[in-house]
Structure 1
Amino acid sequence: MERADAARNRRAILRATEELLSTHDLAQVSMDRVAAAAGVGKGTVFHRFGNREGLMRALVESRVQALSSALESGPPPLGPGAPPADRLAAFFDAVIELASKNVKVMAAFEQASTDRLSSPIYLSWHAHVSGLIASAASSLDADLVAHLLLGSLHSDLMLRFLRTGETDRLAAGLRSMVATLLR
């Protein structure tokens, strides 16, 4: 169990990081600046998160926690109980919605990440997507198709669509791809 002061510091650091990202580029969001904004020592930030990549990962993980819970035990179609194709479409809709509400945080995580494919978030999402694909279309290479679909989320084009408010178009395109693949 996390100590109360450690939990408070963690929340303050994540809040300060988010606030700094809302007004600055990632290059301007140093660990020193985060520590000062959070009212903690720089050593506390490094001890808690290791480096800037760890800090960005923790910030993104705090955002995806609700989505992860919904995937495991939420109502259909996002949660269990719906056909795999419906769950997959709902998953991509939820990811697009999450990304549209957290564009700067997600972009900062992308910039700070050195190995996105080993991120716990990516690994979890890949397992979910590949499992749904395998259930819906056993003739497909579910592992590869999952990587390709998830890879489309990590592109400059997606970031452009999110920043220009074209999330409906993006979500419709992903739903169309999923439906075509799983026919």
Structure 2
Amino acid sequence: MRRQLPVLGQPQPERADAARNRQKIIECAARMVADRGADQLSLDEVAREACVGVGTVYRRFGDRAGLVYALIDERERCFQEAFMTGPPPVGPGAEPAERIRAFLAALVDRIVDQLDLFLLLETASPKARFSGPYGVHHRHLATLLAQARPGSRAGFLADALLAPVNARLISYQRDERGLGIEEIKAGFDELTRALLTPRQAPRAPSRGRPEAGP
């Protein structure tokens, strides 16, 4: 049985007609994004394209962020399955520090894969921005950080590491700074290594031999 991951927060079963309408709406929205770009996504236009009432779209998805979550749902579930149950180093079986580095690199690829939709999601309210996939990513990363650095403020560190892994910054680094995706991932790897490398206590200054007297 396929694991139901907490992406949309709507795991309840649907009636057959509701499921058909939902799929029709998602397919129309996906076509509109492919043809016009994610920033032109409008729930009213999606309703017209899907030949359903506007109220149906709003009741089913709530707002544009809810529809975006639905559009990224399938690939997000595959991504979550990879780091929850997949092979190492992204999945279980590798050391926590190695899994953290692999997870962040995979997350960069995940965002680039649907960059326009993640850009749109980041314009939503903070509640929408930090729910859905972000909450799952944060819990996973905080768990690994607690294992890699016992006693650390793992929740805060997880937020700090996830903060720069966002569509706006990745888009800016790629388009304005001219960085390739592999360079961006290498930067995150360097940042993570710096965070996880144990600090060495400063060595006491060595005392030279006393100078001989005259």
Q: Same fold (TM over 0.5)?
A: yes
CA offsets, 1:31-52, max 9 Å, x none? 1111122232212211111122
Q: Which TM-score applies when normalising by structure 2? A: 0.76
Which residue is equivalent to 1:78? 90
Alignment partner of 1:17 is 2:29: yes
- Mean CA deviation greater in 168-177 or 138-147: 138-147
Q: Distance in 1 between matches of 2:19 and 2:123?
A: 26
From 191, 210, 213, the counterpart of 1:177: 191
- Name the aligned partner's letter for residue 189 of structure 2: R
- Mean CA deviation greater in 170-179 or 59-68: 59-68
1:117 to partner: Cα distance = 5.8
Q: Distance in 2 between matches of 1:40 and 1:145?
A: 44
- Between the two proteins, the alignment pairs up a number of residues equal to 183
- Name the aligned partner's letter for residue 164 of structure 2: S
For the Cα contact (< 8 Å) 2:173–2:179, is it kept in 1? yes
Root-mean-square deviation over aligned CA pairs: 2.2
1:84 to partner: Cα distance = 0.6
CA offsets, 1:44-68, max 9 Å, x none? 2111111222212222333311111
Question: Could you tell me the percent identity over the aligned residues?
Answer: 35
Q: 1:162 to 1:99 in 2, by over 3 A?
A: farther
- Name the aligned partner's letter for residue 11 of structure 1: Q
For the Cα contact (< 8 Å) 1:31–1:46, is it kept in 2? yes
From 107, 112, 116, the counterpart of 1:104: 116
The residue matched to 1:152 in structure 2 has which SS? coil
- Mean CA deviation greater in 141-150 or 8-17: 8-17
Q: Distance in 2 between matches of 1:21 and 1:126?
A: 28
Q: Give the structure with higher Rg (CA).
A: 2
- Mean CA deviation greater in 121-130 or 109-118: 109-118
For the Cα contact (< 8 Å) 1:77–1:87, is it kept in 2? yes
Residue segments in structure 2 that go unaligned for 5+ positions in a row: 1-12, 198-214
1:156 to partner: Cα distance = 2.9
Which residue is equivalent to 2:43? 31
Residue segments in structure 1 that go unaligned for 5+ positions in a row: none
Q: Distance in 1 between matches of 2:179 and 2:27?
A: 25
- Name the aligned partner's letter for residue 141 of structure 1: R
- Name the aligned partner's letter for residue 110 of structure 1: E
- Name the aligned partner's letter for residue 90 of structure 1: A
